Amino acid sequence: MSTDFFKPEIIPELVWKIIQAFPLTLILTVCSLILGSLIALGIAVLALRSPKVTRGMANGYIHFIRGIPTLILIYLLYLGFPQFMKGLGVDMSGVDKRVYLVVIFALAISANFAELMRSSYLSVDKGQGEAALAIGMTARQGFKRIVLPQALAVALPSLGNYVIMLFKLTSLGFVVGVVDLMGKTRILINITYGSRRLETYLALAIIYWALCFVLERINKLLITRYTRGRRELADGKAAAK
Amino acid sequence: MLTITGIKKSFGKTPVLRGLDLSVDKGDVVAVIGPSGSGKTTLLRCINFLERADEGRLTICGQSVDLKTVTKKEIYRMRRKTAMVFQNYCLFNNKTVLENVTEALIIVHKKSKSEAGDIAVSMLRKVGLEDKLNAYPAFLSGGQQQRVGIARAMAQCPDVILLDEPTSALDPELVGETLSVIRHVAKSGITMIIVTHEMQFAAEIANKIVFMDDGGIVEQGASRDFFLSPKEDRTIAFLARFNLGNYYSI
């Protein structure tokens, strides 16, 4: 079905070319995931503390970040922030673009992550932690062995979605000129003077789709692993025996 | 064996325990009764340090701590002398029935996995649940869950078991099976403090009754004397609703 205006047979080759840029997409995703989780952990801890000031600060941060499109956050921090620092006499031009992106994506996901951590933690009945203390565990043991696994079970479905969202979000990195999957695609298009746009973007879409599919499968496996004791999610017969 | 002196506790400005004293001997089964909000549960939780009392002294088996200045280390040490059975069971939802019982033995008492398993199985047999070892709590009835709770408490070989309204969350049919397990435990000579609203059961199982109201002990005494000839007006008014004369006349 090859025609002049659509040549599907060149897609496999394009896929192979584009996938060369996968390491950077992976690095961006993993690094922002780690940094974002750490930021979110701090925010969630603040949000769970009793003084109103810390809770207010955490909530303010969550609302602020949630209300800004990530693309704007990139422009704001990558282009705007150095201008501000220059005013203070700090030269930011030596900082790697990829570092900017990791920080920006980490900030972008941290709000949702923090909210998820807080709600998952609160969803575990207080009695679970108390029972752990009552049988003589330390607070740390009780958290690690009893509360955390249950909170994780609650968080996993949404967490998986957020990770997939982040993975796709990193495609915005091309606006600052890094060569991730999206950046590589645009380079390939420029080389052919835009004549094979349809095939190239299709190749890119196929890559993202396949990788997201893998992520979803991993998430499913984790969910079954962590929800064994929960009636509404586990398969009744399998979990009872 | 267990002595509490001058225990005080307030939530904010609301006093819940107003400096009460309690003494329990080895092998005693003490039933703590009284209206809701009288501080029964808080008393129990203070003994187990799930709630920190503001003042007072607690002695269990010769080890004594000042409740005002007690350190974390002392709390962990004192907690190992007690075990708690919760009103809403509080079984570990991410662990199987067997793991619920072995958890404390392995993590806290540092027993080997096989030794802990043996103890757990024998305890679960005592409460009639040896066929549910690998089930998760969510798949058990309330009565079964509470029996696991009791097995979990007994497995730790505590000096005293604290039971916080162990049957309040159960329907009448399930109350029976749970009470009969507790009855069985009581007969084995383990010291127990039970907060309960089951007067009939308290009269039958406990050798000592403590009646609390408004953060203090109104009256306490041997079970029979307490129910047949209560002395305080408040006690008489409270007991008027229960016809326990029948129980003792049999």
Verify whether the Cβ–Cβ distance B94 to A153 is below 8 Å.
yes
List the single residue in A with minimal CA-CA distance to B84.
Answer: A134
Q: pLDDT at residue B250 above 80? A: no
Verify whether the Cβ–Cβ distance A131 to B91 is below 8 Å.
yes
Q: Identify which of A130, A131, A230 has the shortest CB distance to residue B138.
A: A230
CA distances to A130, B51, B76, B218 from B54, in Å = 19, 9, 18, 21
Half-sphere exposure of B176 (CA within 13 A, CB side): 2
pLDDT for A235? 45
Per residue in A142-168, pLDDT (tens digit) is 999 999 999 999 999 999 999 999 999
Verify whether the Cβ–Cβ distance A229 to B86 is below 8 Å.
no
Query: Does residue A137 fall inside a structural domain?
Result: yes
Q: pLDDT at residue A232 above 60? A: no
The residue type of A38 is: L
Binned at pLDDT 50, 70 and 90, residue A84 comes out as confident
**Two tokens, residue A241:** 């025996």
Q: pLDDT at residue A23 above 60? A: yes
Query: Does residue A124 fall inside a structural domain?
Result: yes
Query: Does residue A2 fall inside a structural domain?
Result: no
pLDDT for B100? 95
**Two tokens, residue A131:** 């029972």
Verify whether the Cβ–Cβ distance B136 to A228 is below 8 Å.
yes
Instruction: Name every residue whose Cβ is closer than 8 Å to that of residue A68 and which is 6 or more positions away in sequence.
Output: A76
Taking alpha carbons only, the member of B73, B57, B32, B38 closest to residue B163 is B32
Q: Identify which of B93, B152, B156 has the shortest CB distance to residue A150.
A: B93
Instruction: Name every residue whose Cβ is closer than 8 Å to that of residue A112 and which is 6 or more positions away in sequence.
Output: A40, A66, A162
Query: Does residue A1 fall inside a structural domain?
Result: no
d(CA B63, CA B17): 22
Per residue in A104-139, pLDDT (tens digit) is 999 999 999 999 999 999 999 999 999 999 999 999
CB atoms within 10 A of CB B62: 6
List the single residue in B with minimal CA-CA distance to A140.
Answer: B107
B chain contacts of residue A133, beta-carbon cutoff 8 Å: 49-50, 79
CB proximity A137 to B under 8 Å: yes
pLDDT for A89? 84
Q: Identify any residues that bridge with B66 across adjacent strands, giving them in sequence order.
A: B57
Q: What is the mean pLDDT of chain B?
A: 90
Query: Does residue A172 fall inside a structural domain?
Result: yes
pLDDT for B55? 92
Residue B70's Cα: distance from chain center in Å?
22
B chain contacts of residue A155, beta-carbon cutoff 8 Å: none
Verify whether the Cβ–Cβ distance B95 to A134 is below 8 Å.
no
The distance between the two most distant Cα atoms of chain A, rounded to a whole number of Å, is 75
CB proximity A195 to B under 8 Å: no
Distance from CA of A123 to the nearest CA of B (A): 13
The total domain count for chain A is 1
Alpha helices, DSSP H only, in A75-143? 81-87, 97-123, 126-134, 139-142
CA distances to A130, B4, B30, B53, B235 from B65, in Å = 21, 10, 22, 12, 32
d(CA A201, CA B174): 64
Query: ipTM greater than 0.85, yes or no?
Result: yes
A chain contacts of residue B138, beta-carbon cutoff 8 Å: 229-231
Q: DSSP secondary structure string, B131-164?
A: GGTT--GGGS-HHHHHHHHHHHHHHT--SEEEEE
Query: Does residue A216 fall inside a structural domain?
Result: yes
Instruction: Kindly state the average pLDDT of the residues A14-39.
Output: 93
Instruction: Name every residue whose Cβ is closer than 8 Å to that of residue A120 and which is 6 or more positions away in sequence.
Output: A151, A152, A154, A155
Q: Give residue A156's domain range.
A: 8-240
CB proximity A230 to B under 8 Å: yes
Per residue in B89-131, pLDDT (tens digit) is 999 999 999 999 999 999 999 999 999 999 999 999 999 999 9
d(CA B24, CA B19): 17
Q: pLDDT at residue B230 above 80? A: yes
pLDDT for B240? 83
Compare A4 and A239 and report the one with higher pLDDT: A4
Q: What is the mean pLDDT of chain A?
A: 88
Give the strands of the sheet with B2-11, arranged side by side.
B14-24, B2-11, B55-60, B63-66
> Percent helix, strand, coil in chain A (nearest 5)?
80, 0, 20
B chain contacts of residue A240, beta-carbon cutoff 8 Å: 135-136, 139
B49-53, B70-74, B165-169: range with lowest mean pLDDT: B165-169
d(CA B191, CA A21): 69
| Share of residues in chain B with pLDDT > 90 (%) | 69
Per residue in B179-224, pLDDT (tens digit) is 888 988 888 889 999 999 888 888 888 999 999 999 999 999 998 8
Query: Does residue A3 fall inside a structural domain?
Result: no
CB proximity A149 to B under 8 Å: yes
pLDDT for A240? 40
Binned at pLDDT 50, 70 and 90, residue A241 comes out as very low
CB atoms within 10 A of CB A84: 12
Instruction: Name every residue whose Cβ is closer than 8 Å to that of residue B54 and which is 6 or more positions away in sequence.
Output: B8, B9, B10, B67, B68
Verify whether the Cβ–Cβ distance A132 to B94 is below 8 Å.
no
pLDDT for A82? 85
The residue type of A44 is: A
Taking alpha carbons only, the member of B169, B178, B226, B213 closest to residue B30 is B226
Contact call for residues B191 and B11 (beta carbons, < 8 A)? no
d(CA B59, CA B78): 9
The distance between the two most distant Cα atoms of chain B, rounded to a whole number of Å, is 55
Q: What CATH number does residue A178 fall under? A: 1.10.3720.10
The residue count for chain A:
241
pLDDT for A233? 45
